[in-house]
């Protein structure tokens, strides 16, 4: 999969932008605060309809404007599509080939991206919600049904929590309605568990070797943490454990007015030599572990979709020495379209630069660098 062209209108510090990308390696250079990250963000937003920098959709609209629009020409395995995303005072609208798409699940899998940004250190250092969001976005790109399971689960979870609060305040003794919600909640929850386990299991098959190649350290693995005490991940076992947890903890949940068990409490952690990297790794090691995670994601997308995702690497070279910089670039498959931002081309091998299309960003204007 490749993005051939992108057009931006009123996007952050860009008035109008129209550029064509190389099918393989693209390097965006410029000083800080010129618009490099904004460009990568726009590609990401076009793919998943939300920013990795802000939860407020309108934050990407250029100051003193009322709308922003992104258009992208996306080449897939079998076809070429034009994707469009419009955000204005009325909300958000997405189109494929000029046809408005109403359901997110019908849109989000048409363009696949893997994104690394400096803020991704929070994947290791931040809250469980950050890691759950990462899984949800990536799995949604692969499996449209996952979006539906997740949306239905969240609606049921909200209803269940509201009813638990009613039981807590009013002292209702009739929990039959709760039993009905439990069945539906568990049905969706089982699917979420299975998709997440499949995703993280694949990550674990390759992340140690990739981390060793780029960081020179072995024994990295991911541990999936759930509060159902699951050992066997099959539908029947998850369902049984889940219903049991809800049934046996009903008094505690009523007292607290919230659902205490389920995939909305999931987490996963990075370990080196059985030590949690959140507490026992340098920031450089954490950064490389996340990069390794992203590179395995590329491999999984290729396996599941039969085509490569677009790889977006923002400020990837920060805190990496010359050797690790060039090792990293060489490790990225050459048939994966990659867009990298950096402040300069120093210490990047000339043979790498020669196969790249290089752009210069200056105050929201982009020009192609010509030797």
Give the CATH number for residue 242.
1.20.1050.90
Q: What contacts 321, CB < 8 A, 6 or more positions away?
A: none
* Total domains present in the chain: 2
Instruction: Let me know if residue 345 belongs to a domain.
Output: yes
- Residue 371 has a pLDDT of 66
Strand partners, 9: 16, 69
Q: How many CB atoms lie within 10 A of CB 2?
A: 20
In angstroms, the CA 188 to CA 183 distance is 9
Half-sphere exposure of 28 (CA within 13 A, CB side): 27
What number is the average pLDDT over the span 300-309? 94
Provide the whole-model pTM: 0.94
pLDDT, greater one: 327 or 271: 271
- Residue 157 has a pLDDT of 97
Domain span holding position 85: 1-112+307-371
What percent of the chain is predicted at pLDDT more than 90?
A: 78
Residues 122-174 pLDDT 10s? 999 999 999 999 999 999 999 989 999 999 999 999 999 999 998 888 876 67
Does 311 lie in the same domain as 296?
no
Does 154 lie in the same domain as 95?
no
- Contact yes or no for 230/246 (Cβ under 8 A): no
Residues 49-66 pLDDT 10s? 999 988 889 999 999 999
Cα distances from 266 to residues 27, 60, 127, 204, in angstroms, run 36, 30, 11, 17
- Residue 173 has a pLDDT of 65
236 closest CA partner among 190, 298, 272: 190
Give the confidence band of 220 by pLDDT, cuts at 50, 70, 90.
very high
- Residue 6 has a pLDDT of 97
Largest CA distance in the chain: 77
Phi/psi zone of residue 10: left (φ > 0), alpha (ψ -120 to 50 degrees), beta?
Answer: left
- Residue 66 has a pLDDT of 94
Does 343 lie in the same domain as 312?
yes
Is the predicted pLDDT of residue 326 greater than 90, yes or no?
no
Q: Tokens 């210490």 map to which residue?
A: 347
Does 298 lie in the same domain as 319?
no
For the stretch 271-275, contacts whose Cβ atoms lie closer than 8 Å and that sit 24 or more positions apart, written own/partner, are 271/220, 271/221, 271/222, 271/223, 272/217, 272/219, 272/220, 273/219, 274/219
Does 343 lie in the same domain as 258?
no
Q: In what order do the strands lie in the sheet with 275-276?
A: 220-225, 267-272, 275-276
Does 321 lie in the same domain as 274?
no
Q: Tokens 């019908």 map to which residue?
A: 106
């Amino acid at each position: 999969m490749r993005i051939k062209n992108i057009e931006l209108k009123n996007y952050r510090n860009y008035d109008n932008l129209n550029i064509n990308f190389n099918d393989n390696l693209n390097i965006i250079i410029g000083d800080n605060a010129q618009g490099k990250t904004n460009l990568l963000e726009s590609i990401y937003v076009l793919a998943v309809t939300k920013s990795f920098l802000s939860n407020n959709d309108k934050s990407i609209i250029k100051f003193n404007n009322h709308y922003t629009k992104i258009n992208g020409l996306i080449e897939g395995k079998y076809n070429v599509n034009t994707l469009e995303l419009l955000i204005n005072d009325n909300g958000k609208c997405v189109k494929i080939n000029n046809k408005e798409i109403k359901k997110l699940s019908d849109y989000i899998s048409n363009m696949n991206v893997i994104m690394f940004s400096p803020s991704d250190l929070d994947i290791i250092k931040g809250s469980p919600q950050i890691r759950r969001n990462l899984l949800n976005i990536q799995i949604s790109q692969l499996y449209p049904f996952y979006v539906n399971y997740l949306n239905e689960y969240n609606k049921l979870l909200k209803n269940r929590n509201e009813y638990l609060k009613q039981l807590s305040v009013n002292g209702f003794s009739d929990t039959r309605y709760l039993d009905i919600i439990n069945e539906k909640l568990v049905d969706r929850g089982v699917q979420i568990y299975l998709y997440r386990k499949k995703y993280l299991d694949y990550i674990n098959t390759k992340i140690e070797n990739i981390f060793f190649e780029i960081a020179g350290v072995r024994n990295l693995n991911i541990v999936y943490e759930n509060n159902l005490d699951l050992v066997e991940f099959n539908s029947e076992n998850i369902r049984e454990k889940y219903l049991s947890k809800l049934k046996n903890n009903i008094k505690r949940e009523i007292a607290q007015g919230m659902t205490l068990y389920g995939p909305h409490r999931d987490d996963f952690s990075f370990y080196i030599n059985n030590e949690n990297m959140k507490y026992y790794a340098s920031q450089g090691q954490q950064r490389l572990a996340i990069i390794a995670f992203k590179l395995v994601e590329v491999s999984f997308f290729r396996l599941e979709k039969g085509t490569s995702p677009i790889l977006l690497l923002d400020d990837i070279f920060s805190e990496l020495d010359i050797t690790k910089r060039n090792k990293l670039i060489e490790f990225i498959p050459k048939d994966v379209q990659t867009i990298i931002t950096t402040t300069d081309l120093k210490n990047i091998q000339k043979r790498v630069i020669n196969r790249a299309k290089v752009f210069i960003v200056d105050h929201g204007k982009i020009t192609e660098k010509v030797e």
